[in-house]
Structure 1
Amino acid sequence: MLAARGAVRRGRLPAGAGPVRPRGAPRTVDLRSDTVTRPCAGMRRAMARAAVGDDDYGEDPTVNELQRLAAGILGMEEALFVPTATMANLIAVMCHCRRRGGQLFLGRAAHLHVYEHGGAAQVAGVHSQVLPDLPDGTFDLEQLELLVREAHSSRYHPRPELICLENTHSTAGGRVLPLPYLQQVRGLADRYGLRVHMDGARLMNAAVAQGVKPAQITQFCDSVSLCFSKGLGAPAGAVLAGRRRFVAEAWRVRKLLGGGLRQAGVLAAAARVGLEQAEETLRRDHDNARRFAEGIQELNSPLCSISLAAVETNIVMMNVGGGWLSPPELCEHLRAVSEEEVAETGWAVSVLVFPWSAHTVRATWHRDISARDTELAKNKLEFVVRKWQEKLDLGLRPTPPGAGGA
């Protein structure tokens, strides 16, 4: 108790927070992804009260209203509600690339290329030409134009048809694509008769970070997907938006892929709440992520580091270096709660983060993570890093997570 009060006085713990017993359930701060959210009370009320109909017949009023609202926000003529953003991206590829063997261009680390089971190839029969991703989530447009020009002039290359962008860029750490860059992509696409699709799963994060309306971003695109179950916190659903003729064809492809829904208004109602609250929710997420990143920088430890300039939205990529600690080990130490931790801090906190790569751990903020949770996560990281450093200074390897713990 005295330890906890002392920590509060020193500003290391949120004021008003009491100690947790070592054997009690720890406070869990889940930063693995912004997909782990649960519907808020407002979403649950909206779902319970939603007017519904058969959406496959176009008769679900809540879905229809969400589609109109989303199309307006995205600056597109129409939008189509679909179960997932992965399906939205695949539908876009199938609608834009009408010939089997057509070619799309995208970054090597793009979600559409890496994390969607190669649907462009498996289902659409489309060839993906990948480009190296730059640290900010863009790719070199001179290299892109060289590849496009080469394909256009050859009888042997696949026919280039589509450029796919990702905004925000997940693997780059939630980086936002600059508007001048998007304008340049649009100009290149127009010169060669290509279309542009944006995987905008976290597009609203990009708009909030740049202080612009989403339509100012999508004006450079022929189509865009938007996910409701990531930063917006809904349990399911996405939209695919574009011109009226494009969306009409997208409806047919959605049916082909088994994405036709019936009384989908119960999902659309939650999605609408998330969409309407997006600016307030995401601004708070960005602020919390930034505070956590600043905490990493303040540690000034060789065990983990951060590039503050790369923290633009709700994702923080921690660099784990020095060869003393691997990303899975850091994740496990942050998850585990030991009696030593509780004795020193008065708190039992389990922080869940994601081992992203061989040298990187990802933490993602969302609507279920408060400023208090963020402070607890900072304190837990500080404790773990300090214990590792103390034992390394003594020439010892820290005790494996959970040993002697609660």
Structure 2
Amino acid sequence: MWCDPTVTQQPLLDFRSDTVTKPDEAMRAAMASAEVADDVLERDPTMHALEERVAGLLNTEAALWVPSGSMGNLIALFLHLRRGDRFLAAHGSHVLDNELGTAAWIAGGMPHPMDWDAGPGRMSAAAIHDIAGSEPSYHGLNTTLLSLENTHNAAGGTVMPLEEHMQLIAAARECRLRVHLDGARLWNASVALGVAPSELTVGVDTVQVCLSKGLGAPVGSVVAGTEDFVTEARRVRKMLGGGVRQGGILAAAGLIALDRVDALADDHVNAKLLAEGLNELGWSVREPETNIVLAAVPDVRNAVKMLGRLGIQTGPMAGQVRFVTHRDVSTADVKETLHRIGSAS
């Protein structure tokens, strides 16, 4: 694909994930001055304010801060599933491939990966009916949950359109399934579609959203649902070791992060710029829908290594090289990335 370049001392350009962002001075100042209390004993006021704000944005009754999106997803699955229940999720979903099997190990569920028969990262309503539309025999699996992911990471940050979302919700209800939404990058989907986040949570029982990806907070996600769900979720969070004390220091960063949702549009523009430039250089790249660019190459491991020697940090994803644009990568950085790759070809 290109010649073996000499290792240089050029500044690193980090496209490994939108989790690598660092809090800026405004966010650090908010963290330093946050009003705090012991959230386990009495509720931290800043954390409570964050939870109420997220619940409002998602149009849920209540919400709970958690240290990570993986914990938020696990809490939801733990409370939705009985041991041995089957749950459906699109092939490559984060809850299937990137959470160390906790959906089965701790939540006790039997995962069933669904083919992408409706497009990259997306399953169809018909497929849900095929799996869960009839009563199982007494020795068969009880299918009780549909887990959605929007955007779908392993498919390249693909967005589930609102109409398809509603079709899946309707199919789930017809099949008597509860619905959990892994919305780690739901903010990106909202910006890409030009709709409020609450429009993308219609009909779900629970939803998890991340603050420490493109929005730039250093730590934290939020899991949301009914008041009763959040009451139980708080207990499970404690059981999993996720109870916090003066959590307002972290919640303050989350409140600042929520002010920056609209800025995700810049990441999407940069992703398209990067994809177009890579295609012009002879790479095979599908146009991104949000901030994730997947490049098909003959040897992923070697490509990641060679990019690293150019000072461009990437990673493997679904058998391809993944670039993720974020608030700490500028348009100039994207152009510099393309320049380095082009010069080494």
Deviations 1:159-210 (A, max 9, x none): 2211000110000000001111111111112112211100000010000000
Is the aligned partner of 1:263 residue 2:246?
Answer: yes
Contact 1:334–1:380 (8 Å) recurs in 2: no
| C-alpha deviation, 1:87, in angstroms | 0.5
The match for 1:241 is 224
- Cα 1:372–1:227 change in 2 (3 A) is same
Q: CA deviation at 1:39?
A: 1.1
- In structure 2, give the amino acid aligned to 1:353: T
1:315 has 2:292 as partner:
yes
8 Å CA contact 1:164, 1:196 repeated in 2: yes
Q: Which residue does 1:216 correspond to in 2?
A: 199
Match of 1:361 in 2: 321
The answer (yes or no) to whether the contact 2:151–2:157 under 8 Å persists in 1 is: yes
Does 2:294 correspond to 1:327? no
Corresponding pairs, count: 339
Q: Which has the larger radius of gyration?
A: 1
Work out the CA distance in 2 between the residues paired with 1:369 and 1:59. Answer: 36
Q: Distance in 1 between the 2:21 and 2:33 partners?
A: 21
Does structure 1 residue 127 correspond to structure 2 residue 127? no
Runs of 4+ in structure 1 over 6 Å off: none
TM-score (norm 1): 0.81
Q: Which consecutive residues of structure 2, in runs of 5 or more, have no partner in the other structure?
A: 1-5
Structure 1 counterpart of 2:15: 31
Conserved 8 A contact 2:80-2:145: yes
Paired with 1:57 and 1:368, the residues of 2 have a C-alpha distance of 37
**Paired position in structure 2 for 1:4:** none
| 1:158 is aligned to 2:152 | no
In 2, Cα distance between equivalents of 1:379 and 1:319: 19
- SS for the counterpart of 1:180 is helix
Q: Match of 1:233, SS?
A: coil
Residue equivalent to 1:95: 79
Q: C-alpha displacement at 1:77, in angstroms?
A: 0.9
CA deviations on 1:259-303 (whole Å, 9 max, x unpaired) are 1111011111111111111112x111111111111111222x2xx
Alpha-carbon separation, structure 1, partners of 2:115 and 2:227: 33
Q: Quick one: distance in 2 between partners of 1:226 and 1:40?
A: 21
Q: Does the 8 A contact of 1:53 with 1:60 survive in 2?
A: yes
* Whole-angstrom distance in 2 between the partners of 1:154 and 1:197: 25
- Aligned 8 A contact 2:286 2:293 in 1: no
Match of 1:336 in 2: 309
Residues of 1 paired with 2:9 and 2:33: CA distance? 35
Write the mapping of 1:103-122 to structure 2, written as runs, cut at 5 A.
103-122=86-105
**Separation in 2, partners of 1:89, 1:335:** 32
- Counterpart of 1:57 in 2: which secondary structure? coil
Question: Structure 1 CA distance, aligned partners of 2:30 and 2:131?
Answer: 49
| Seq. identity, % | 41
Whether the aligned pair in 1 keeps the contact of 2:73 and 2:95 (CA below 8 Å) is yes
Of the three residues 149, 169, 175, the one matched with 1:186 is: 169
The Cα shift of 1:146 comes to 1.3
The question of whether the paired residues in 2 share the 8 Å contact of 1:109 and 1:133 is answered with no
Residue of structure 1 equivalent to 2:56? 72
**Cα deviation code 1:138-158 (max 9, x no counterpart):** 1133222111024x2321122
Match of 2:284 in 1: 305
Q: 1:158 to 1:24 in 2, by over 3 A?
A: closer
Over 3 Å counting, the alpha-carbon distance change for 1:114 and 1:23 in structure 2 is closer
Alignment deviations for residues 35-91 of structure 1 (CA, whole Å, 9 cap, x no partner): 111111111111100110011134211100000000001111110001111000010
Cα distance in 2 for residues equivalent to 1:33 and 1:284? 16
Normalization by structure 2: what TM-score? 0.94
Q: What SS does the aligned partner of 1:363 have? A: strand
Contiguous gaps of at least 5 residues in structure 1: 1-21, 338-349, 387-406
> Match for 2:28 among 35, 44, 49?
44
Matched, 1:373 2:333: yes
Whichever residue aligns with residue 316 of structure 1, its letter is: V
Residue 318 of structure 1 aligns with an amino acid whose one-letter code is: A
- Which letter does structure 1 place at the counterpart of 2:322? R
Equivalent-residue separation in structure 2 for 1:24 and 1:287 (angstroms)? 28
**Corresponding residue number in structure 2 for 1:10:** none
Contact 1:133–1:139 (CA under 8 A) maintained in structure 2: yes
- In the alignment, is the contact (CA less than 8 A) between 1:228 and 1:271 conserved in 2? yes
Question: Are the counterparts in 2 of residues 58 and 64 from structure 1 also a CA contact under 8 Å?
Answer: no
Change (3 A) 1:191 1:331: same
Q: Secondary structure at the match of 1:26?
A: coil
Deviations 1:247-270 (A, max 9, x none): 111111111111111101111111
Select the residue among 245, 254, 261 that pairs with 2:237.
254
Range with bigger deviation, 169-178 or 252-261: 252-261
User: 1:30 offset after TM fit, Å?
Assistant: 0.2
Distance in 1 between residues matched to 2:165 and 2:137, nearest whole Å: 27
